[in-house]
Structure 1
Amino acid sequence: MGITDTISNTLSFLKLGESRKIFYNNPINNQLRQDVEHTYIKAYEYNEQELIEHEFASVQECARLKDSRYNVWLNIEGLKRDEIKFIAQTFGINDLVEEDISSIGHNAKMDTFENYIYCLVYMLSYNNNRFFIEQEQISIICGRKFVITFQEEHGKDAFGKLRLRLQNKDSKVRLNSIDFLFYELLDAIVDDYFYLMDKLSMRIETVEDEILNNLNKRSFAKIIFYRREMMILRRNIYPFRDIITVLMRNEDSFFNKRTLRYLKDVSDHINQAREMVENYRESISNIQDLYLNQENNKLSRSMKVTAIVTCLLAPATVIGGIFGMNFKYIPFLNNPYAFYIAIAFMLLIPVYMIYVFKKNGWF
C-alpha cells in the first residue's frame, strides 16, 4: 500500500508539468508550430542621437526597415508561418533558418551565414502559480544593420530592461553597433536563468526541510519533479555555452573586439550557471538519498518495535501453550494458585527482558 501511495502521489504531482517536453525530439520529426491568432510586431530604429519606435499591424509594413539608415531591432511576438516566410524573403534569410523558426522541438543552436548570424535559444521563466519552469523558443537573427527576434508568445519577455535602456541615448546599446544589441539580448536571457535558479533553490531547500521535519509520501514526488526541472535547465544551458564559445571565435570578424569582451562575460555567466545546475542536481540526489535513508530508518524503527513486542509476548505464548496442552497429568493442574503463578511468570519474564534490553542498549 505504501508503494502504491507513493506512485499515486508522484503521478499527481508530476501531472502539473505533463504537457512539457523533457527530452529532445527526434530531429527528423520536428513539428511545424500552430499559427497564433494575432502577432505583435514592434520595431526600433536607433542611433546615438535618435530612437524611433514602431508598432506594425502587419509584417508587410516591416519591409521598409530593410533599407533603414539606422540600426534596427524588429521583434515579433506570436508566430505565423506565412509571416515568417515574408520576413525571411524580405531580409534574405535562408530557407533552413525559416524552417527552424517555423517548427518546434529543436536543440539550442547557432548557424553563421555570410551576412547574418542565426541563434535559436530558449527563454526560461518560472510559473509562480504552478511552480514549474516554462520554456519559450527564441530565434535571433543578427545582420550587419539589423536584429530580428521571434518569440513564441506575447507577454513573456526577458527584454523589458533592454527596452528601457534603449530610451537612454547615453546607454551602451545606443552608442555601439548592432552586434552589441545582439549581445544584450543573449545576456538578458542568461540573466533570467539565474533568477529562475534562485527560485528553484528555495523550493529545493523547502523539500529538504520537509523531509527532515515532516516526512511524507508527497516528498518523494517533489524530488522526482525537481529532478525533471534540473533536466530542463541542463538541456538549455549546456548548448547555450557552446553557442557563446563559437561566437567568441569570431572567425568571420562579425563582432568587433569590444563586443567580444562582453561576450566573454556572458560565457562566464553561462559557466557559472552550469556549475549551479550541477550543484543543484547533486543536492537533489543527496535529498533523494536522505529521503530513502529516512524511510529506511522509519521502517527499521517499525521493525524494531515489532521485534521487541514479539519477544516480550513470546514467554506468555510459551507458558500459555504449555499449560494449554490436553494431557491428563499436568503440573499444578489442581493447585488453586496455579493460574496466578502462570500469570505472574507471564508478566515478570517480559519485565526482566525489558531490563536486559535496556542494559545492553538494544532500544
Structure 2
Amino acid sequence: MIRKLRRFAKAVTKPSYKDEFYHYPGTIPGTIIIDENAPPPQIYLMDYCQNNFTHQRLTAPEDCVPYLDQESVTWVDVQGLGSRDVLERLGRVFELPPLVLEDVVNVSERPKTEDYDDQLLFIARMVVPRERGGGFYSEQVSLVLGQHYLLTIQEEPEHDCFGGVRTRIEKAKGIIRRQGADHLAYALIDAIVDGFFPVLERYGEELEDLEEEVIVSPTRQTLQKIYQVRRELLQLRRAIWPQRDAINSLIRDRSELISEEVQIYLRDCYDHAVQVMDMVETYRELASGLMDVYLSAVSNKMNEVMKLLTVVSSIFIPLTFVAGIYGMNFNTEKSPYNMPELNWYWGYPLCLGVMGAIAFGLLFLFWKRGWLENSSTINRD
C-alpha cells in the first residue's frame, strides 16, 4: 500500500522538465545545454533614476548596451532559456564568465552566491501559488549584480513574484528609485523569500481541512492527500534551506557591490527566510502527525466494528445455550432426568421471556460499564 501511495504522490507532484534537467557526467565545465522544451527568451529593460524612468521590451541583447554606461540603474530581465544564441550574446554583452552561464542554464542548480570581483551572482528558487487547484510553480531565478545594473534570468515568462517591485519602480514608491542596483537586488530577493508565505498559507488551510477530514471521515483519498502535502512541503524545504544559507553568505562575505545600508536590509530578508524555514518544518511535523492520526482513526473504526460484533455475539451466546438445551427434546417418562417444563402450558413463552431477560440484562450490563460508547468520537471543543 505504501508503494502505491508513493507512486500516486509522485504522479501528482511530478516536476516539470526543468526540475529533471541536469548536466550529464563528464560534461566540459562552462558547457551550455539548452532543453528543447524551454520557452524562448523575452528580454525586458527597466532603466530608472530618481527623476527618469524607461520600460521597454528589447528584441536583441545588444539593445541594452547604451543603458549600461549611464549612472542610472538598469534592470534587464530575461524570461525564458530556450535560445543558446541569445544567452551567448547576453553573456558577451555583460561579460559573463562561462561558469556563470552554465549555472544560469542549469536550472536544477542549488541556491548559492558567487563573487566574481566586478559581478555578484545569486541563484535562488522562486515559488508562486497556482491560481487554480493546489500546489505551486517553482523555477530558478539568477541575479547578476553589477555596479549600475542588475541582470535577472528566469526560466519562464510567467509566474514570477516581481510585480510589486516593478510597480514601486514605475510609480516611484518608497526609496527604490533613489537607491542603487544593490537595493534593487535586495528588493527582488526579498520578493522571492516573501513569495513562500502565500504558498505556506494555503498549506496551513489545507492541513486544517485534512485534520477535520481525518477525525470525522477518513478515507484512502485522505491518506493520499496527506502524502502529497508531505512531498510538496519537502520540495519547499529543499528550496528555502540553501536559499537561507545563500542570503547569509551575502551578509557574511561582504562585497564591494553591496552597501552597508543594503546589508541591514538583507538581515531582515534573512530573518524572513528563517521564519519560512520554521513554518515549513512545523507544517511537515503536522503532516506527519496527521498520518499517525489517520492510522489511529482507521484502527479505532475497526475496533468499533469488532466491538459491535463482539457485543452481538456475547448476547446471542447464552441465548443459543438456552435454545440448545431445550432443543434436545429428552421427554421420556422412564428417564429420571426428564424435562418437565416441556409439557408446561406456559413453557414456551416463559423460555422466550427468560431469553429476552438475559439479552436485556447483558445490554444493561454493557451500557453500565461503558462498553457501548463510541471511543472514536473526539470532542473538538
More displaced 10-residue stretch of structure 1: 169-178 or 128-137: 169-178
The aligned counterpart of 1:296 is 299
Within a 5 Å distance, the mapping from 1:1-363 to structure 2 comes to 15-19=11-15, 32-34=34-36, 36=38, 38-79=40-81, 80-169=83-172, 171-322=174-325, 332=339, 335-336=342-343, 340=349, 342-363=351-372
Task: Give the Cα–Cα distance (whole angstroms) in 1 for the partners of residues 309 and 316 of structure 2.
Answer: 11
Structure 1, 174-183 or 341-350: larger mean CA deviation = 341-350
Displacement of 1:169 = 4.4
Shift, 1:335, TM fit: 2.5
Instruction: Go from structure 1 to structure 2 and tell me whether the alpha carbon gap of 1:175 and 1:193 turns closer, same or farther (over 3 Å shift).
Output: same
Q: Secondary structure at the match of 2:153?
A: strand
Shift of 1:59: 2.5
How has the CA–CA distance of structure 1 residues 361 and 23 changed in structure 2, closer, same or farther, with 3 Å as cutoff? Answer: farther
| Shift in Å, 1:84 | 1.5
Whole-angstrom CA distance in 1 between matches of 2:37 and 2:222: 39
Flag structure 2 segments of 5+ consecutive residues without an equivalent: 28-32, 373-381
Q: Secondary structure at the match of 2:158?
A: coil
Identity %: 26
Deviates more, 1:48-57 or 1:317-326: 317-326
The TM-score with structure 1 as length reference comes to: 0.87
Matched length: 359
Contact 1:25/1:106 (8 A) holds in 2: no
Amino acid at match of 2:254: E
TM-score, length of structure 2 as denominator length: 0.83
Cα gap change, 1:269 to 1:19, in 2 (>3 Å): closer
SS of the equivalent of 1:202 reads: helix
Q: Over aligned residue pairs, what C-alpha RMSD do you find? A: 3.1
What is the CA distance between 1:238 and its match in structure 2? 1.0
Secondary structure of residue in 2 paired with 1:136: strand
- The structure that has the greater radius of gyration is 2
Q: How has the CA–CA distance of structure 1 residues 8 and 317 changed in structure 2, closer, same or farther, with 3 Å as cutoff?
A: farther
Work out the CA distance in 2 between the residues paired with 1:312 and 1:21: 63
Mark the CA change 1:25 to 1:37 in structure 2 (over 3 Å): closer, same or farther: closer
* SS of match in other structure, 1:104: coil
SS in 2 for 1:335: helix
- CA change 1:77–1:25 in 2 (3 A) is closer
Q: Deviations over 1:164-186 (max 9, x none)?
A: 11124464222111111110110
CA contact (8 A) 2:128 2:160 kept: no
How big is each residue's C-alpha offset from its partner over 1:44-98, in whole Å with a ceiling of 9 and x where there is no partner?
1222232222211233433444434432110011112322122112211111121
Q: Secondary structure at the match of 2:197?
A: helix
Deviation at 1:344, TM superposition (A): 4.1
Any stretches of 5+ residues in structure 1 without a counterpart? Answer: none
1:36–1:362 distance in 2 versus 1, CA, 3 Å: closer
Output the CA distance in 1 between the equivalents of 2:305 and 2:329.
Answer: 37
